[in-house]
Amino acid sequence: LCSFIHSPKGFPKLKNDTFLRAARGEETEHTPVWCMRQAGRYLPEFRETRAAQDFFATCRSPKLCCELTLQPLRRFPLDAAIIFSDILVVPQALGMEVVMVPGKGPTFTEPLKEVEDLLKLRQKVDVTAELGYVFQAITLTRHSLEGRVPLIGFSGAPWTLMSYMIEGGGSTTMAKAKSWLYRHPEASHQLLRLLADVVTDYLVGQVAAGAQALQLFESHAGHLGPEQFQDFALPYIRDIAQAVKSKLKEEALPLVPMIIFAKDAHYALRDLAHAGYEVVGLDWTIRPQEARAQTGKDVTLQGNLDPCALYAPKEKIGELVKKMLEGFGTQRYIANLGHGLYPDMNPEHVGAFVEAVHAHSRHINKH
C-alpha cells in the first residue's frame, strides 16, 4: 500500500499549490478542482480495498486510509486530496458507539435521549489518545503524496454531530435533535460547546500531523431556520475558526486555509463569509453570481455543480462546467460539486468534470 518515511516533519516539497493559492485568494493559472467524497464507492478499486473490512475498522487503519485517499489521484489530475475518514469519529471519541449498518448507514447503538445522557459523554477528550489513528493516517498520506497536491483534513461541525448523536443516524426531519433545541436550549449549548472544544483540538491535531487545509462540514444546516442557525450553529462555527487559528499560532504550526461548508444555508451566506474562514463552500442550490454578491470579495468560493450533473453525457458536463466558471469567475474560486459523489457514478464522468474545469478555466484566463 503506502510507503512510510519515519519522520513526522521533513514532508516532501509541494509541487502543485494551486488549491492553496486559490484558497488564500492569490492568482492561479487554472481553477483548482477536487470532489467531496472523491475517495468513494464509485471507484471499483475503492470497493475492492474496502470489501474485507468493517467501515470504522477501515477508518482506524492509517494504511487503508492512505491507500483510499490516494486512489482518486492515480486516476484524475485533482488539485487536492482529502483524507479518508468520517465525521462520526468525533462522537466515538466522546465514548459513543457507532456502527455502519449495510443499507442503513451509520447507526448509534445508544443515541442521546434525555439531558441526563450528556453525563455519559467524556467531558475531557485527549484527541491524540482517541483519534491518533486519523493523525497517523494524515502523516502517512502526506508523505505518500510525495508533494503532488495538498492534503485536506476535516471535521463535522457541532450541530451536525449533535443531530446524529440524538437521532441515532440519518433522518429526513431531524425532529428529535431539533426538539432538544426548543425544549432543552441550555443542555443543547452544553453539548455544542463540548463538541466545539473537541473539534478545535482535533483540527489543530490534524495540522500538526500534516494537513495543509481544513474543511468543517455543517451538513445538516438546512434543517435549521435562520434563527436557530444563528443561535445553535453559527456561534460554534465562528468559535472553531478563531480557536483553531489561535492554537495554531500558539503551537507555532502553519496557519492553514479553512473552509466552511454549510449545506442548504443560503440564508446565512453573508454571516458565513465573515465567520473567519478563507473559503465558503456552496451546495448546488444557489446561483454563482448570487453567492458572489452575498459573500463579497474577501473570501474564496468553493462548489457547486449539482452532483447529478455527472450522470449527463460528457459533452454536457463540459458545458455545465463552462457555465459554472463563467458564473463564479476563475479566480478566488475552487471548483467542486455541491455535495459528495454518489456510489453509482461513472468514474469517466468524474474525469470529464476535472478535465473540463482545467481546460475551460485556462481558456478563460488566456482570453
- List residues with catalytic annotation: 37, 41, 50, 86, 164
Cis peptide upstream of residue 304 (ω within 30 degrees of 0): yes
The helix, strand and coil proportions of the chain, stated in percent and rounded to the nearest 5, come to 50, 10, 35
- Three-state DSSP at 184 gives coil
Question: What is the C-alpha to C-alpha distance for residues 363 and 1, in angstroms, rounded to an integer?
Answer: 37
Q: How many CA atoms lie within 13 A of 49 on its CB side?
A: 24
Give the 3-state secondary structure of residue 90: helix
What's the Rg (C-alpha) of the chain? 20
Residue type (1 letter), 31: T
The vertex-331 CA angle with 327 and 337, nearest 5°, equals 60
Residue 310 burial (CB < 10 Å; 0-12/13-18/19+)? buried
Cell (9 digits) for 37: 467524497
Distance of CA 309 to the CA centre of its chain: 21
Strand, coil or helix: 155: strand
Phi, psi of 107 (to 5 degrees): -135, 130
100: β partners: 106
Rounded Cα–Cα distance for residues 175 and 25 (Å): 39
| Angstrom distance (rounded) from CA 234 to CA 53 | 37
Question: Would you give the distance in Å from CA 254 to the centre of its chain?
Answer: 19
